[in-house]
């Protein structure tokens, strides 16, 4: 414990953000780091509890408490306070595969479990984590760590999202020959295509992919494992296959959208926005929001990201419809918290885009089935040429499961406490096995699956398994 009275002397200071009216004009990252002296104070606020619930990673009554990676949070907070960046990095990397991702996009269940937050404000665990890894990259302390020898075993990871990358990273460190296949143009999965650049810069994703490539992981894009011939070839060529294809089956809106243009799901819209803004592609699956009245159905991170993206594309208006009542979202002080996207909407339009306790009842179409408006359950009509369903996912896509012959319900079936499927040498991890969840849980799944695959390949493992 670097500062026994730190939690009494220092107040919580989160990373700064660029002003909303400024950042909404571009796609650049909005996080701004704290000065070094203030960052050390934030590390000094950690109480080093006798039982550090921040690193427990448990689920109680349907809610996650603490970090599922079991990050050694009090240890590296102590190192942040003392200014020992080297030791802070070593403790962080012992349990966390990609702190530069979780430090930006994780909702920080660790902070929700922080004892310091019971009677005050929790420690800025996520911001401290991000400062450690970014300082390491800036100082060139993040160098390739190649395994000293190879096992000769070959593993194929299907899907390059957070679970697939975590599994590949761990198995490569054990000396196995790892190939990651991805059907998209670029590796990264939802990290690349599902999270906007201002929240997670694509340069950060590419930086990690490049580092893993230097360490020996092979990435092959444009390969669709949903094709039976491809699946058969992968099963023949590799000693183990890990399916990490996410939970990409959108939850239906419950509306008749047959023949209606201007309706898409949230991830499809965000992917198209990334392809336009970062990859320079004009023809995409979903339209741009430029000049359109946009209605977004849903809440959570995806809905917020859609609001922020529509504003940057120059929409005429944006409305977010939330099914639950406003009271469900109030904090302990009775205030309605603002996400970064809601801050931006206030700066641009002068009002919060959210409407609570309301949903879409039916669609209004014009000529040729083009969407013109939506009628809400409040019986008013909103102008709308682009309706985005950010209502979550019902499970994994069927095609990959069928190609490999693995059993599925909404997600891939595995034995209790195991990542093995019903097909010999085929494993599953991440949202494909767990269902829609957080990036940090996907990473924990990938690391745990890697430990099981390592044991399957050579009979034992020394890899940590955060999920039992």
Q: Which CATH number fits domain 6-138: 2.60.40.740, 1.20.1090.10, 1.10.1060.10, 3.40.50.150?
A: 1.10.1060.10
CA dihedral 414, 63, 162, 73 (to 10 degrees): -120
Dihedral (C-alpha) 14, 310, 285, 264: value to the nearest 10 degrees? 100
- The pLDDT value recorded for residue 60 is 79
* Angstrom distance (rounded) from CA 66 to CA 163: 19
Q: In 45-115, which residue ranges form alpha helices assigned H by DSSP?
A: 73-82, 85-93, 99-105, 109-112
Tell me the H-state helices in 139-265: 162-173, 190-193, 202-214, 228-237
CA distances from 4 to 48, 121, 200, 210 (A): 9, 16, 35, 41
Domain edges within the chain: 6-138, 154-248+394-458, 263-391
The answer, yes or no, to whether residue 320 has pLDDT greater than 90, is: yes
Does position 381 have pLDDT exceeding 90, yes or no?
yes
Q: How far, in Å, CA of 209 to CA of 108, rounded? A: 24
Whole-prediction pTM value?
0.95
Least-confidence region, from 34-48, 54-68, 182-196, 372-386: 54-68
For residue 61, name the pLDDT band (cuts at 50, 70, 90).
Answer: confident
What is the band of 367 on the pLDDT scale with cuts at 50, 70, 90? Answer: confident
Q: Which of 404, 401, 455 is nearest to 433 (CA)?
A: 401
CATH fourth-level superfamily of 263-391:
FAD/NAD(P)-binding domain (3.50.50.60)
List the beta bridge partners of residue 179.
Answer: 156, 218
C-alpha distances out from residue 132 to 66, 74, 194, 265, Å: 19, 14, 25, 35
Q: Mention every residue, 6+ apart, whose C-beta is less than 8 A from residue 138.
A: none
pLDDT for position 393: 86
Q: Do domains 154-248+394-458 and 263-391 have the same CATH topology?
A: yes
Determine which helix (DSSP H) or strand (DSSP E) holds 63, and give its type and residue range: strand 63-65
Distance of alpha carbon 159 from alpha carbon 221, whole angstroms: 10
pLDDT at 417 over 80: yes
CATH assignment of 154-248+394-458, among 3.40.50.2300, 3.30.1280.10, 3.50.50.60, 3.40.50.300: 3.50.50.60
Residue among 416, 410, 424, 428 at smallest CA distance from 456: 424
């Amino acid at each position: 414990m670097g500062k026994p009275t730190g939690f009494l002397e220092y107040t919580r200071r989160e990373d700064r953000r660029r002003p909303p009216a400024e950042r909404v004009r571009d796609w650049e990252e909005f996080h701004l780091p704290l000065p070094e002296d203030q960052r050390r104070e934030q590390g000094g606020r950690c109480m080093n509890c006798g039982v550090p619930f921040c690193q427990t990673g448990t689920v109680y009554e349907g809610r996650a408490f603490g970090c599922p990676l079991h990050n050694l949070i009090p240890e590296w907070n102590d190192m942040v306070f003392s200014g020992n960046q080297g030791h802070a990095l070593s403790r962080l990397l012992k349990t966390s595969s990609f702190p530069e991702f979780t430090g930006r996009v994780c909702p920080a269940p660790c902070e929700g479990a922080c004892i310091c937050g019971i009677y005050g404000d929790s420690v800025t665990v996520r911001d401290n984590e991000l400062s450690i890894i970014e300082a390491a990259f800036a100082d060139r302390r993040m160098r390739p760590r190649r395994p000293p020898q190879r096992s000769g075993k070959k593993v194929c990871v299907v899907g390059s999202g957070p679970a697939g990358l975590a599994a590949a990273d761990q198995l490569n460190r054990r000396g196995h020959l790892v190939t990651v296949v991805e059907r998209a143009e670029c590796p990264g999965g939802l990290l690349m295509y599902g999270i906007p650049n201002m929240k997670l810069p694509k340069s950060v994703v590419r930086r990690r992919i490049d580092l893993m490539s230097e360490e020996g992981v092979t990435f092959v894009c444009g390969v669709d494992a949903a094709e039976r011939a491809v699946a058969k070839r992968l099963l023949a060529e590799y000693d183990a296959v890990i399916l990490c294809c996410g939970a990409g089956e959108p939850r239906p809106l419950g509306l008749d959208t047959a023949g209606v243009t201007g309706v898409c799901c949230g991830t499809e819209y965000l992917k198209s926005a990334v392809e336009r803004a970062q990859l320079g592609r004009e023809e995409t699956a979903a339209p741009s929001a430029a000049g359109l009245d946009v209605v977004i159905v849903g809440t959570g991170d995806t809905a917020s990201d859609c609001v922020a993206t529509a504003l940057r594309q120059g929409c005429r208006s944006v409305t977010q419809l939330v099914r639950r009542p406003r009271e469900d979202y109030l904090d302990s002080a009775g205030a309605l918290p603002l996400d970064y996207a809601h801050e931006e909407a206030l700066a641009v339009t002068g009002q919060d885009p959210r409407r609570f306790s309301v949903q879409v009842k039916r669609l209004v179409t014009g000529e040729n089935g083009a969407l013109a408006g939506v009628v809400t359950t409040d019986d008013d009509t909103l102008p709308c040429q682009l309706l985005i369903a950010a209502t979550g996912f019902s499970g994994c896509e069927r095609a990959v499961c069928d190609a490999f012959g693995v059993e599925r319900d909404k997600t891939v079936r595995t034995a209790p406490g195991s990542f093995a499927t019903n097909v010999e040498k085929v494993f599953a991890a991440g949202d494909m096995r767990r269902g829609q969840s957080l990036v940090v849980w996907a990473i924990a799944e990938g690391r745990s699956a890697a430990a099981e695959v390592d044991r399957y390949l050579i009979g034992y493992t020394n890899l940590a398994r955060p999920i039992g």
